[in-house]
Structure 1
Amino acid sequence: MIRTQGYRRPAALTLIAAVLLAGLSIAPAQADPEPGDNGKLVMVLDSSGSMKEPAGDGQTKIVAARTALTRVVNKLPEGAQVGLRVYGATVFKRSQPGACTDTQLTVPIGTGNRPQLLSAIAKYKPYGETPIGYSLQQAAKDLGPSGQRTIVLVSDGEATCAPEPCEVARSIAKQGIDLKIDVVGFRVGAKARSQLQCVAREGRGDYYDADSTIDLEAGLDRLSTRAFRPFRLSGTPVEGGPQQEGAPVLAPGLYSDKFGAEKVAKYYLVKRTIAGSTLRAGVSFRNPAGGSDVVESKTQLSTIEGDDCGWSYPHNYGSDEGLATGVASSWKETQDECATADQLVLTVSHGDKQLVATPFELRIDEEPPVSTTTGLPDEAEEPTWKSMPGSTPREIVPGSSFPDAPLLSPGSYKTTLMPGEVQLYKVKVDWGQRLQAQVSVPQLGAAMGKAFDGIRYLDVNLISPTGDEVYATFAKGAPGGAYKKVALTSRGTVHGVVSKEIRYLNRTGANSYNTGTSQPGEYYVLVSLSKKTQAPQPFAMPMTLTVGLQGTAGAGKPEYVDGAMPVSGDSVTPSATPTDEPSDKPSGDKTEAGGPVQDSGSSSSDDGTPVGLIAGLGGGGVLLALLGAWAVLRLRNKNAVATAHPASYPQPGPYPQPSGWQQHPNQPNHPNQPNYPNQGPPQNPQQGPAPR
């Protein structure tokens, strides 16, 4: 959130609110938590005498903290498992008995305890000593021995009692990877900062410094909604077979699974429900920490006899711990078994030990054959950027994965972007339309510019409904140049990307930005900012995202054989054990190619929290934004089960070039613009039976 210098709420207000609600989301993970496990949080608050000191804006630290806590608690869902522990609240001097064990669980961890929390906060006053280490020991006991557990420590100084907090944090961390300690240092000196940073580091959490700068305040109001939000999967859990024989039979739908052992494939049988249709299988997953930027995984469709129908190496977005996606399509230029077989074999494989047991999402779409291609527009030409009218940006909470990406209508949106973060948004794009996305970053202030530390890379990309990379490589006039990734300094930038117009015959093209724009649906805008391991200080950079749709909706819409309609993976709910005779009837308006583009200017989260309400509410908007994290947590929890197949995996450097593929003569040799596609060879515009 961007604020003027005249609106200077104390950083602690935003900071404490941010980190408290951050703790309410589960710890970083690669998949959904177990059903019913939304995590437990205990807030450990400093009530020492130094909290009487000024907060920098005419208020005392204790007033700022009390105000923030009250607002946070009033926004908590009823199901939040929260407790409150206060230290230094009852014994005035260290020389008095009990001063170094002066910590009380004023509100036990539980749900539905909002009145008790508010009452305890109202009584929260500065008083005694700072027994941080002992308070942390007791907080770990409050949380119990299992589940996702978070301690949020808020302190304005160093410990004045034994035991040493850093040693305590190290001991607590041994209780399990699902327990972490996040720390807020509120206007602390160098010695206290060093001690508190050690607590966060040894406790596998994060340290946040509230120094009352406007840049830090603007950043921390967003950390709560995204920093600890896990990558999420959707879909019915299914387990791929170790071989083709006996593999589960899948109809079009959305599924989840896990990669198997290194270089061991998982197999599925994909059943056609429409004669002569094109089947597309999209796989997406979070690249594990420490994994390579080049993803050693392959998604392939083939006939029962083993003939190749289409393949893809997933593309990784956002570097380390980025989002990887890939799509295999059965559509081919000639009519063969790939177009006519009742079943195809889907193989998902990998050759990287880092991917073992990594959950992935599997989406299967089915598109009927067309009656004729006569009269359909030719493959779209390279697009030319069209200026988009400015508008007052609405505040938006971005998604961290496909299931929680907010649906945007054309317009401008403001948010913040953190180093290493991958943000996702979706936009409905119809036949005859093309998608434009522009990210604007203003010149950063001195404090944030220092945290920014030199040059970073901003990545803006477009992804198809099934997971193809579809930004147009040779677009003309795009702000910042035609590349998806640009160097970014503290001076800011304006950068735009654009897709080709959605046309049926785009499938004749050689690259994914052609083939991926051959069907309408919900396209994704992905934004990420590179992270520096040498500069781990968290910050949130303000940015504005503007999206627009150019062209005439519905233009060039094909007629499918016998009036059949496409079935997309997210428009059906497959059974946990797919039947041999899945329904070929589409459900919901998402199956209608060329249907209306929904205006989601007031779209809501899955639990009914209206994202649009955040805009224009000033400081209160911060707290509503914080609820975005809870909206994600309340998405359905799905167990993710998963796969793999030994194949020729891509190695660092160029991917293998499919037979018949030729590099565009004007394609630049740019480190951010690879000279290769990541999919199998181009295939034929006429699917299934010969056109009538």
Structure 2
Amino acid sequence: MSRLTKSLAAAGLTALVVTASPAHAQEREPGYAPTMVVLDASGSMNADDPSGGTKMDAAKTAVRDFVDAAPTTSKVGLTAYGTATGSSDAEKTAGCTDVRVLREVDTLDQGALTAAVDGIRASGYTPIGASLREAAAALPNSGPRSVVLVSDGVDTCAPPDPCAVAQELHEQGVDLVVHAIGFGVDAASRAQLTCIAQQTGGTYTDAADGPALKRVLPRVSQAALRTYQSTGTAITGTETYNGAPVATPGQYLDTLGQKRAQYYAVDVPQGATAYFGATVSFPRVQHDAPNGDTSALAVRVYDADGADCHGFESESVVNSSHGAALTISKTWDGATEAKSGDRKCRGGGRYYFSLEWSTVADNMPERTPVELLVGIEPAVTDPGPATATGDSPFTEPTGEPTAAVGGGSFNVAGTLPSSGSYTDTLQRGEFVFYRVRLDWGQGLAYRVRYEGTGSRGVDGISNATTTLYSPFRAEIDHSFTSYTGETTALPNNDPALTTAKVRYANRTADAHEDRSQSVPGWYYIAVKLGPAREESAGTPVPISIDVAVSGQPEPGPIYQSNTAGDVFGEKGTPSGTDSTASTVAATKGDEDSATGMIALAAGAAVLLVLVGGGAFAWRKRKAARR
């Protein structure tokens, strides 16, 4: 236990640490997840592709592009089904067991994988369920693992039903995520493939034709390698607030449709602050979709009688995304005020949070997995030090840089343990997450540098983006520019992106962007490298993240309650959340935990802003604080 924690305990103070990462993510070693690509080679893949050639030709081209772009240290295998038999009824028995591992999962061998792809001949049935079992058996026995499934139709061999197989793998505790791509599929096939992905916490993506598949397969595969995974306890929101499921602090997993809002109930004690957020991740839809590729989520709050709290500091919150992923976070402090007369949305009690799409991108799946986060912070008797003002200082790191591997979501974000410089390599189209822990009184400043690759030219231009998030996934700051193959830093008009010094009193700060720096815990850095303007152009880009953590830990607020399990989720922590969030324990080094923790959810999300060619840079200014 640190000296600070001991002194707080002696003084009767409670330091609140917000933690939101599943236990398996805490233990994950840096590196890429072994990934098996499962390719449909059934007879229907011989059909013409709208863009020319056959669907099988287009699929082979897409897989070759992925192999060319995959990190050299990644472990990738290839499985195909439908390659050896015809499609007559007499051949069905053999065809429905026709699943072949063409390349075992091993360190990337581009030549061998390309040769295996070139040798595929489409001819038979579609045993998706059997292929999932075969792919799972061919992957390592432990640790994060991924399958990328490309299919142009529904399983023609069930049983086993492929969605049931996916559920079976999940229930067996297999840490495996299936990302599914529907290649020119109908509604029934789309529903089946979406179910497979949702059962394992993966994503589903439509690819209408060969060019679309060529765009999305490398990106979906990169998400698999970076181990994107939706996690949480299953929950089903209702279409009205009546009968909405009650969510205690923790992380949940639901699916969100396009047509109507879904409601969830949260019991908020008098004086407490509630946090509610949602994360949706899905690879980019067609960039030339006629109605655009922007989606927007909205969260609203209602009181126990169903009264809309709009106008009572519960404005509708909307974030937009260009198709890759998005997150939304709402802090509700209505219970911190006393009930008075007939005023609505004040005081402790049951509140309802609704989540809905306000704008939907073209070609987005009818239903998408959504992670929900719920946290409840009790009332305080002493808020501790006054509101912090000013940006945290940025100091150039010294010493040799340290290699780091970012994760594909908040759940598996790469840990940057202290001040210093950290290096990674991003593929075109990747968004990755890193995390830095801040205690009360500490602040963060960081800068991202995209190293030069010499691959200049208009076709190789990509969008470079970085976003800083609070422990409850609220966006703190954001910056982007065009990456043209030359060394580029973000932000390029300021030394760094920064937080304020973390203090409880920041939640009432004059500068709105400082209010999210009101709890300690993991602060998240998301780094994005968009696809090149010409999808086949551009090479992987080395990056470095220079991190400066400033300030000495200081006493935080004194809470009215630090032992109530119903407040912190200490009893019956939902599966998929960080089990350490339910304990009172100290950990090593500068990650000493104190006596109270909020269980919050984690998700894979980054607000993407894509910019066409030309050298252009932007940063969300924090002018109110300057």
Q: TM-score, normalised by structure 1?
A: 0.53
State whether residues 395 and 548 of structure 2, in contact with CA within 8 Å, keep that contact through their aligned partners in structure 1: no
Match of 1:401 among 400, 409, 431: 409
User: Equivalents in 1 of 2:568, 2:121: separation in Å?
Assistant: 47
Q: Percent identity?
A: 21
User: Equivalents in 2 of 1:203, 1:148: separation in Å?
Assistant: 24
Partner of 2:253: 256
Match of 1:494 among 471, 476, 489: 489
Structure 1 letter corresponding to 2:300: Q
User: Equivalents in 2 of 1:236, 1:279: separation in Å?
Assistant: 19
Partner of 1:59: none
State whether residues 32 and 227 of structure 2, in contact with CA within 8 Å, keep that contact through their aligned partners in structure 1: no
User: Equivalents in 1 of 2:547, 2:509: separation in Å?
Assistant: 25
State whether residues 432 and 526 of structure 2, in contact with CA within 8 Å, keep that contact through their aligned partners in structure 1: yes
Query: How far is the alpha carbon of 1:265 from its aligned partner?
Result: 1.4
User: Equivalents in 1 of 2:409, 2:378: separation in Å?
Assistant: 29
Partner of 1:558: 557
Partner of 1:269: 265
Structure 1 letter corresponding to 2:229: R
State whether residues 457 and 484 of structure 2, in contact with CA within 8 Å, keep that contact through their aligned partners in structure 1: no
Partner of 2:323: 320
Structure 2 letter corresponding to 1:266: Q
- Please tell me whether residue 342 in structure 1 is matched to residue 349 in structure 2: yes
State whether residues 460 and 485 of structure 1, in contact with CA within 8 Å, keep that contact through their aligned partners in structure 2: yes
User: Equivalents in 1 of 2:396, 2:564: separation in Å?
Assistant: 33
- Please tell me whether residue 372 in structure 1 is matched to residue 382 in structure 2: yes
Partner of 2:528: 528
- After alignment, is 292-301 or 171-180 more displaced? 171-180
User: Equivalents in 2 of 1:231, 1:296: separation in Å?
Assistant: 21
Structure 1 letter corresponding to 2:523: Y
Structure 1 letter corresponding to 2:265: L
Structure 1 letter corresponding to 2:466: V
Structure 2 letter corresponding to 1:345: Y
Structure 1 letter corresponding to 2:257: G
Query: How far is the alpha carbon of 1:559 from its aligned partner?
Result: 0.6
Query: How far is the alpha carbon of 1:277 from its aligned partner?
Result: 1.4
Cα deviation 1:576-606 (Å, max 9, x = unaligned): 9xxxxxxxxx963577699877669xxxxxx
Cα deviation 1:466-523 (Å, max 9, x = unaligned): 110123xxxxxxxxxxx62234332212333111111111111356532211111111
State whether residues 83 and 121 of structure 2, in contact with CA within 8 Å, keep that contact through their aligned partners in structure 1: no
Question: Cα–Cα, structure 1 residues 83 and 490, in superposed 2: closer, same or farther, change >3 Å?
Answer: closer
User: Equivalents in 2 of 1:538, 1:569: separation in Å?
Assistant: 47
Question: Cα–Cα, structure 1 residues 229 and 491, in superposed 2: closer, same or farther, change >3 Å?
Answer: closer
Structure 2 letter corresponding to 1:259: L
- Please tell me whether residue 283 in structure 1 is matched to residue 291 in structure 2: no
Query: How far is the alpha carbon of 1:357 from its aligned partner?
Result: 1.4
Question: Cα–Cα, structure 1 residues 406 and 500, in superposed 2: closer, same or farther, change >3 Å?
Answer: same
Question: Cα–Cα, structure 1 residues 259 and 267, in superposed 2: closer, same or farther, change >3 Å?
Answer: same
Question: Cα–Cα, structure 1 residues 522 and 671, in superposed 2: closer, same or farther, change >3 Å?
Answer: closer
State whether residues 325 and 468 of structure 1, in contact with CA within 8 Å, keep that contact through their aligned partners in structure 2: yes
- Residue 350 of structure 1 aligns to a residue whose secondary structure is strand
State whether residues 566 and 591 of structure 1, in contact with CA within 8 Å, keep that contact through their aligned partners in structure 2: no
Query: How far is the alpha carbon of 1:283 from its aligned partner?
Result: 1.2
Question: Cα–Cα, structure 1 residues 556 and 243, in superposed 2: closer, same or farther, change >3 Å?
Answer: same
Q: How does 1:5-404 map to 2 (within 5 A)?
A: 22-24=35-37, 135-137=120-122, 173=152, 178=181, 201=210, 204-205=213-214, 226=223, 231-262=228-259, 264-272=260-268, 274-286=269-281, 289-290=284-285, 295-305=295-305, 306-308=307-309, 310-316=314-320, 319-331=322-334, 334-336=337-339, 338=345, 340-354=347-361, 356-373=366-383, 376-404=384-412
Query: How far is the alpha carbon of 1:365 from its aligned partner?
Result: 0.5
Partner of 2:580: 588
**Whose strand fraction is larger, Structure 1's or Structure 2's?**
2
Question: Cα–Cα, structure 1 residues 387 and 395, in superposed 2: closer, same or farther, change >3 Å?
Answer: same
Cα deviation 1:553-583 (Å, max 9, x = unaligned): 2x1400111445798989775569xxxxxxx
- Residue 428 of structure 2 aligns to a residue whose secondary structure is coil
- Residue 449 of structure 1 aligns to a residue whose secondary structure is coil
Question: Cα–Cα, structure 1 residues 149 and 457, in superposed 2: closer, same or farther, change >3 Å?
Answer: farther
State whether residues 413 and 434 of structure 2, in contact with CA within 8 Å, keep that contact through their aligned partners in structure 1: yes
User: Equivalents in 1 of 2:587, 2:381: separation in Å?
Assistant: 19
- Please tell me whether residue 459 in structure 1 is matched to residue 458 in structure 2: no
State whether residues 274 and 376 of structure 2, in contact with CA within 8 Å, keep that contact through their aligned partners in structure 1: yes
Structure 2 letter corresponding to 1:367: E
User: Equivalents in 1 of 2:151, 2:233: separation in Å?
Assistant: 36
Structure 2 letter corresponding to 1:270: V
Query: How far is the alpha carbon of 1:324 from its aligned partner?
Result: 2.6
- Residue 507 of structure 1 aligns to a residue whose secondary structure is helix
Query: How far is the alpha carbon of 1:673 from its aligned partner?
Result: 2.8
User: Equivalents in 2 of 1:507, 1:575: separation in Å?
Assistant: 28
User: Equivalents in 1 of 2:151, 2:251: separation in Å?
Assistant: 39
User: Equivalents in 2 of 1:342, 1:525: separation in Å?
Assistant: 35
Unaligned 5+ residue runs, structure 1?
Answer: 1-17, 28-43, 46-64, 88-104, 125-129, 152-170, 182-199, 209-219, 472-482, 577-585, 601-637, 641-651, 653-669, 678-692
Question: Cα–Cα, structure 1 residues 257 and 289, in superposed 2: closer, same or farther, change >3 Å?
Answer: same
State whether residues 381 and 500 of structure 1, in contact with CA within 8 Å, keep that contact through their aligned partners in structure 2: yes
Question: Cα–Cα, structure 1 residues 363 and 145, in superposed 2: closer, same or farther, change >3 Å?
Answer: closer
Query: How far is the alpha carbon of 1:350 from its aligned partner?
Result: 1.9
Aligned residues: CA RMSD: 5.4
User: Equivalents in 2 of 1:369, 1:287: separation in Å?
Assistant: 37
Partner of 1:648: none
- Please tell me whether residue 441 in structure 1 is matched to residue 450 in structure 2: yes
Question: Cα–Cα, structure 1 residues 284 and 562, in superposed 2: closer, same or farther, change >3 Å?
Answer: closer
Partner of 2:163: none
Q: TM-score, normalised by structure 2?
A: 0.58
Structure 2 letter corresponding to 1:550: S
Cα deviation 1:443-485 (Å, max 9, x = unaligned): 223xx3358634x4322221112110123xxxxxxxxxxx622
Structure 2 letter corresponding to 1:507: R
Question: Cα–Cα, structure 1 residues 533 and 149, in superposed 2: closer, same or farther, change >3 Å?
Answer: farther
Structure 2 letter corresponding to 1:420: G
Partner of 2:508: 508
User: Equivalents in 2 of 1:558, 1:340: separation in Å?
Assistant: 21
- Residue 513 of structure 1 aligns to a residue whose secondary structure is helix
Question: Cα–Cα, structure 1 residues 323 and 422, in superposed 2: closer, same or farther, change >3 Å?
Answer: farther
Structure 2 letter corresponding to 1:358: T
User: Equivalents in 2 of 1:542, 1:267: separation in Å?
Assistant: 43
Question: Cα–Cα, structure 1 residues 86 and 379, in superposed 2: closer, same or farther, change >3 Å?
Answer: same
State whether residues 440 and 555 of structure 2, in contact with CA within 8 Å, keep that contact through their aligned partners in structure 1: yes
State whether residues 393 and 412 of structure 1, in contact with CA within 8 Å, keep that contact through their aligned partners in structure 2: yes
Query: How far is the alpha carbon of 1:144 from its aligned partner?
Result: 5.4
- Residue 320 of structure 1 aligns to a residue whose secondary structure is coil
Matched pairs, number: 448
Question: Cα–Cα, structure 1 residues 441 and 366, in superposed 2: closer, same or farther, change >3 Å?
Answer: same
Question: Cα–Cα, structure 1 residues 593 and 341, in superposed 2: closer, same or farther, change >3 Å?
Answer: farther
User: Equivalents in 2 of 1:590, 1:412: separation in Å?
Assistant: 32
State whether residues 365 and 569 of structure 1, in contact with CA within 8 Å, keep that contact through their aligned partners in structure 2: yes
Partner of 1:432: 441
User: Equivalents in 2 of 1:509, 1:393: separation in Å?
Assistant: 35
State whether residues 330 and 338 of structure 1, in contact with CA within 8 Å, keep that contact through their aligned partners in structure 2: no
